[in-house]
Amino acid sequence: MKCYQTVQRELKQWGLAGLIVLLTLSATMQWTPAKDQTKTETNQEKTAATKLYQAAREARAVWRDFPGFTADVTVSFNGKQTQGKLSADKDFKIKLTLKDESLSEWSLPKLRSVIGHRKYRVQKPIPATFADQQVNHPLGRLVNIDDKNVSFRLQDNVMTEVQRRSDKMWFTISTLDVWRTKEGSVLPRDTSVTYRNPKTGAITSNRSNTFAFTRVGNYDLPATMLTVECGENFERNIGSIKLSNHRLLSPESLSQTESK
């Protein structure tokens, strides 16, 4: 009875043609439960976070078909200075020979880091999720990597911040400025690394770094590194590494250098 009355009312208001259109539309529309709508929105945000993280990963400068290189090295640390030779082969194995080998302990890990981060790897997408809804942070959006104790802030295809925390360590790498290569890829320029006590969160040390690179052939090779380290017990260390006379191990890739 109610259905008959409803049809009569709709016929009077819309006419037969209008009612046919109305019934046709209602038959083709799909009802979406509220919980599914929320899930769809979450999936869209997750996709956006994953794409944002992937874009920053792919924007990092890497050395494809790297032939290796050699360079002269000058290391200065807390007033001591020495010279030597550096070689990095096509597999990114590094050999550092210094006249004063005591400075290798400080300088070799830094060279391994700045060179090792240029190694090309296939960047398969890694699922990420926005950690919050804060879109106006000075260092960009905060994303968490699924099932990992690491999060990133991302802005303009740059990993402006890396945060790693576990039961044994807690540190944050903040990238304050970057270099852009000829291809538009990203290299670090100014960074700050803060270390914390993993249990209390108290800052234990800080390391400020400045990097410069020089163009040799198709590669932007490290030229200078300056580091200032401060510890919790009034410790302070200052060191620098300068590379010169870069030579690619592949003769056809040799060219004049352009310093940044």
Mean pLDDT by runs of 10 across the 260 residues of the chain is 47 43 38 36 87 96 96 98 97 97 97 97 92 94 92 97 94 97 97 96 96 97 98 93 94 50
CA-based nearest residue to 53, from 136, 188, 184, 158: 158
**pLDDT for the residue 233:** 86
How much is the pLDDT for 147?
A: 84
| pLDDT for res 260 | 60
List, in sequence order, every residue forming a beta bridge with 192; answer none if it has no partner.
Answer: 174, 208
Residue 168 CB burial class (10 angstroms; 0-12, 13-18, ≥19): exposed
Provide the pLDDT for residue 25.
37
Instruction: Please give the model's pTM, rounded to 2 decimal places.
Output: 0.78
Q: How many residues does the chain have?
A: 260
Which three-class secondary structure state does DSSP give residue 110? Answer: helix
Q: Which pLDDT does position 208 carry in this prediction?
A: 98
CB of 191 closer than 8 Å to CB of 174: yes
CA distance 115 to 63: 9
Q: Write down the pLDDT at residue 49.
A: 95
**For 99, which DSSP code?**
S
Within 13 Å, how many C-alpha atoms sit on residue 181's CB side? 21
> pLDDT value at position 108?
98
Cβ 241 vs Cβ 73: under 8 Å:
yes
Domain ranges of the chain: 44-259
Task: State whether residue 85 is helix, strand or coil.
Answer: strand
